[in-house]
A and B are shown apart, each in its own frame.
Chain A
Amino acid sequence: MLRSALLTLAAVAAWMPGSAALASEDHQAVQWAAACFACHGPEGRSDGGMPSLAGQTADGMYAMLIDFRNGKRNPTVMHHHAKGYTEEQLRRIADILGRRPN
């Protein structure tokens, strides 16, 4: 219970405005992840077309990014992007994006 409460709180805190100041925040990955919002909308809330990133789990996001990177999925654009990052970078980006509330 405590663990889930802490995780929930951390997730909310992390994506409140000013998340970059959170002591434990991965500032570098926050900047990398913010790049995604140009196509996927502010904080990952898409107006259509590209899927919303908000509400997805970190593990699900990571698995999908790895599939794009390895060519296991056939998207229009995402394979071109995913190949630009190491697996470790994608893991950290997924950890940031996956903690986002709906």
Chain B
Amino acid sequence: MQRRQFLRHSAALAALAAVPAAARAQVGRGARVVVVGGGFAGAACARYLRLWAPGASVTLVEAAREFVSCPMSNRVIGGTMSIRDLTRRYDGLASRHGVRVINDTVTAIDPATRQITLAGGSALPYDRLVIAPGIAFDYAALPGLNSAAAQERVPHAWKAGPQTHELRRRIGAMPQGGVFAMHIPKAPLRCPPGPYERACLVASALRRSNPTAKVLVFDANPGILAKRELFADAFANRYKGMIEYVPNAGFEAIDAASGELSFDVHGKVRADVWNVIPPQRAGELALQAGLGGGQGWCEVDFLSYESRLVPAVHVIGDAIASAPGTPKSAHMANQQAKVCAAAIAAHFAGRAVNPEPIIANTCYSFVSDKEAIHIAGVYRYDDGQRTIVAVPGAGGLSARASGEEAFMAVAWSFNILNDTLGMI
């Protein structure tokens, strides 16, 4: 190469390198984003904000010191996975991605002055606030479960953690021929297929250790909420004589001490172990901050996940009023987090937000210790309806349960944790 040509090339390369790199680093420069809640939605949003708006300071406020994945936690209850497999630290977000992680809880949000207050006393100002508080349980709707003592006797195990272990322990300690019973609240709820997966995995475990035991599934809904044909097949055939499924079962009251639950039309049912999944709404913080709509969920603009009620505050994850036909799942939380992060980065860069976000959902459920099924969907923003809608012709269910999908389900759970927390 001739010297002149080389110099010209070098100059071109330098220009190409310098301008975009400088422009990249500028995005969000001086801006402050605070993300509250470090679950699948909040942690992923913090990470992608640092990728797409590297000039911004991003602070993640999370009360727990470790991330515990709800997906796969039914396998812990079924005894085929350890909760250690589902537990991660937040360190990588800080050391690899420059997220400031604060281990604290939020006591107040003031949208007028754009700052939040932490239990530790300090105040954090923000230009954009992202709230990902997950779900809260509505125990007021469950007579007999209003006290802490009663709630301890009847675990929900619907947030992975100590209750997951506790439910596993109680199922293992059931007498031979005993009864495990669960109650599923009316939709919307976190992880619509989760209760039916749980019934299958409990039955799968009992078949080995307690083959004359029964699994009773009382559902407040008129039918199985997700993967209906596949779960119905598992209940009717795979667990014939063990799982009994009862739709339209309205909870009236429970006597936590005796283990007797009264239903509206099915009368009193006694079980050795009860698992009552309470009705749900957006996490307390969202409702305290005035972000909740009439039904207890937060209405958002699906182009940016900005609250429809409070400007500069975004809500992602299970706490939002989900678009019709879309589930509250870890996968959807991950996808919403990215659309939200991209919209905030565009805002900082002075660009228009993506007018057509496309997101996807993949959700695996185990039907036994060895086999799983999936449901998938692709969703795009519809300008006319101002919501996200399923793309016709896309998505669908597994044809049948398989060991191959069980392998993929576990791989999915590790990959989405890595994507959320920025590991590997």
Contact = CB atoms under 8 A, between A and B. Distances in A.
A56 interface: no
Contacts of B119: none
A84 B396 CA distance: 11
B342 interface: yes
Contact of A77 (B27, B374, B418): B374
B194 to A, nearest CB: 18
Interface string A12-32: 010011111111100110111
Interface of B: 1, 9, 12-13, 16-17, 19-21, 23-27, 48, 50-54, 97, 331, 334-335, 338-339, 342, 345-346, 349, 351, 354, 356-360, 362, 374, 376-380, 391, 393-396, 398, 402, 404-405, 407-408, 410-412, 414-416, 418-419, 422-424
Contacts of B416: 38-39
8 contacts: A16-B21, A21-B26, A32-B358, A42-B419, A47-B424, A50-B415, A83-B395, A84-B393
Contacts of B349: 20-21
B19 A49 contact: no
Contact of A31 (B24, B342, B415): B342
Contacts of B412: 38-39, 49-50
Contacts, number: 175
B159 to A, nearest CB: 21
Contacts of A84: 358, 360, 377-380, 391, 393-395
A34 interface: yes
Contacts of A81: 360, 362, 376, 378, 394-395
A57 interface: no
A49 B419 contact: no
A18 B331 CA distance: 23
Contacts of B415: 37-41, 46-47, 49-50
Contacts of A45: 418, 424
Contacts of A31: 338-339, 342, 354, 357-358
Contact of A19 (B24, B97, B424): B24
B377 to A, nearest CB: 8
A61 interface: no
A28 B424 contact: no
A51 B374 CA distance: 18
A18 B53 contact: yes
A49 B407 contact: yes
